[in-house]
Every structure is written in structure tokens, then in C-alpha cells.
Structure 1
Amino acid sequence: METIIQTLTHTPWWVYLLFALIFYKGVRSLKPRAVPLKKLIIVPLVVSAISLDTLFTQINLNGFNVLILSASAVLGLIAGYLMTVRAPIEVDKEHLVYKMPGGITTLLLIFGVFFTKYYIGYEKAVDPTLMQQDGFETFVIIASMLFAGLFIGKLLGYAYHYRK
């Protein structure tokens, strides 16, 4: 219990602010809503940028890691695309607004990204040598690229809805 309290007290204030923001956004996504195209583009780009930054600054990109990276990204792309293509989304092409159904998917995805990144940051703070361990490095690659792929796949699904 003391470890949990220490972890929470040493967490920077802006992490709590970020958590509150994504909680708010996630809860809003539970209800049907109209979302401008600009807002649909921002999250996939931010998640992808964070994932790529992690990969290029903290991971040894050898052949095996590139294979894992590619497979995770492709799986994420396919899953994200299928989630979005099958959703009953309407597009107001004149105003570039998507009429989205409510659902828990967005909440789960953004919490998944948040808690995965928080966990990775925590583990690296406790043991800075952890990134040199193959198992942890593989976990970071899979998690980063799977989430990036999911969000980019969802973005491609939104493009599909726009074109139909």
C-alpha cells in the first residue's frame, strides 16, 4: 500500500490534469455527439507522435524489433479500421462534422494509452535499466504501436465514412 501512495505522491501534477481531461473526454464519448473533423484528426496524430517518439528515442530498432513493431502497427490499423467502419457514423460533408454514436470504445482506448504510458514511465523511473531487457522492450513496442495503429486505423475508418 505504501508503494502505491509513494507512486501517487511522486506523480507530477500535470499527469492528474491529463487524467481528468481524458476522463472528461471519455465520458462525453459515451453519448452520441457531433465531432468536427479537426478533432478527429488530433488524437490519432498525438498518440502516433508519442509512440514514435518512444520508439526512436528509447528502443533499439534491430530486425526483430522492427518485425514486432510492424506486426503490432498492422494489427492495430486493421482493428481500428474495422471498429470504425462498422459503426453507424454519419458525415455532414458541408460542415465537416461527424455524427458519432455513443459508446465505451473511445474511453477504453484513451484509458489504455494513458495507463500503459503511466506504467511504462513508472517502471522506467523505478529501474532505468529496464529498457535494456528484451521482454520489457518488446512490451513497449507492442503497446506503443498497437495503440498508434488503432488510432490511425480509426482515422482511416472516418475517411471511409466520408467517402461513402
Structure 2
Amino acid sequence: MFAQIISHTPLWVWALLAFLVYRGVLASVDREATLKKLSIIPLVMLALSWEGISSHFGITPLTLACWLLPAGIAASLSWLFFRKDRVTAHPDRGVVFQRGSWLPLMLMMGIFLTKYTVGVLLAMHPELVRDPVFTAVVCSLYGIFNGMFIGRLSRIVSLYRNAQPSAILYNGQLNG
């Protein structure tokens, strides 16, 4: 059965997996990036999650609540426990230096595997689409993963906005 599942998986799914692994490995090394660049993966993951929710279950009070509550909790906890020493903002250069982390890869794989598993389960058991418990679990998983991305990104943006430029302009000249 596993071979049949793999063989019926469209090629674009494997391309997406390869891209996500590539981006996750990049995130594991120290690097400088703009806020715009740092926001791409969280936004892509948010779009993938919401596409999965809306296409399978629709946007309903249940799906909204089961995504919003876990997302809010995960974002808050991610914000609270984010290690500020892992990021150095350089607003004068428009970049953030970020220590490498495997967490983005784990979050991306969490969303990918949730989406893949839901697709397989619904192909095998289409009646699950009407099961409120299944719906709640899936939407909650998406909410947790997206909330962690949102919390991390929000904390980095906050650190960037609150950072003091390394050099201050005084009468049009740089003073160190």
C-alpha cells in the first residue's frame, strides 16, 4: 500500500518537498537576510495551510476556531520563548543576522506532512472530510505550526524595529 501511495503522488509534491528541505537546510546556518526575505517561508506555509483547510473543509466557524486558538497560543509561546541572543538587527543596513536553526525545517516538514497525510487519508476515506474531530485535529495542527512561524517572525520584526542603528546621523554626518 505504501508503494501505491508514493506512486500516486504527483511530481510537484516531491518538488515542493525538495524546495522546503533546501530552505530548511539554508535556515540551519548563520546568515543575514532582510525582513522581506525572512517572511517568505512563513507566508508560503500560511498559504499552504489555508489552502489545505479551505479546499478540504471550507472556511467555517469550526475551522477558524480550530486554527485561530492554537495559532494564537503557539505564536504567543514562540514570541515568549524566542531567544533574542540568536538575532542581531542591523536596521542601518536593512538586514537581520540570524543564527542557524533547524526549527524552520521542522515546522515546514510538520505542515508538509500534515498536508500530505490529510491528502492520503481523504483519498482513502473521503468521509473523513465531514468528521468534525478530524477537521479539528487537522486545523489545530496547521494552527500550531503557523503560530510558531508567526511568533518567531513577529519577534524578529520587533527586535529589528527596536534596534538602534550602529551609527547615528548627526547634522548629516555619521557619528560613531
Aligned length: 161
Residue 146 of structure 1 corresponds to 144
Please give the secondary structure, in 2, of the residue aligned with 1:145.
Answer: helix
Query: Are residue 127 (structure 1) and residue 91 (structure 2) matched?
Result: no
2:49–2:115 CA contact under 8 A, matched in 1: no
Shift of the 100–162 alpha-carbon distance from structure 1 to 2, 3 Å rule, reads same
Deviation at 1:125, TM superposition (A): 1.4
TM-score normalised to structure 2 length: 0.81
Residue 155 of structure 2 corresponds to 157
Q: Give distance in 2, aligned partners of 1:132 and 1:18.
A: 28
More helix by share: 1
Shift of the 7–88 alpha-carbon distance from structure 1 to 2, 3 Å rule, reads same
Amino acid at match of 2:34: P
Q: Per-residue displacement from partner, 1:42-81 (whole Å, max 9, x unpaired)?
A: 122222223333334433624x554433321211211332
Q: Give distance in 2, aligned partners of 1:132 and 1:23.
A: 32
TM-score normalised to structure 1 length: 0.86
Larger Rg: 2
**Greater CA deviation, 115-124 or 73-82?**
73-82
Shift of the 83–118 alpha-carbon distance from structure 1 to 2, 3 Å rule, reads farther
Find 1:98's aligned residue among 96, 99, 102: 96
Shift of the 142–33 alpha-carbon distance from structure 1 to 2, 3 Å rule, reads same
Alignment of 1:3-14 (within 5 A): 3-14=1-12
Please give the secondary structure, in 2, of the residue aligned with 1:120.
Answer: helix
Q: Give distance in 1, aligned partners of 2:136 and 2:85.
A: 32
Q: Give distance in 2, aligned partners of 1:14 and 1:83.
A: 35
RMSD: 1.9
Q: Which ranges in structure 1 are unaligned for 5 or more consecutive residues?
A: none
Shift of the 119–87 alpha-carbon distance from structure 1 to 2, 3 Å rule, reads farther
Q: Give distance in 2, aligned partners of 1:120 and 1:29.
A: 26
1:34–1:97 CA contact under 8 A, matched in 2: yes
Displaced runs of 4 or more, over 4 A: none
1:85–1:158 CA contact under 8 A, matched in 2: no
Shift of the 69–21 alpha-carbon distance from structure 1 to 2, 3 Å rule, reads closer
Please give the secondary structure, in 2, of the residue aligned with 1:82.
Answer: helix
1:113–1:147 CA contact under 8 A, matched in 2: yes
Residue 171 of structure 2 corresponds to none
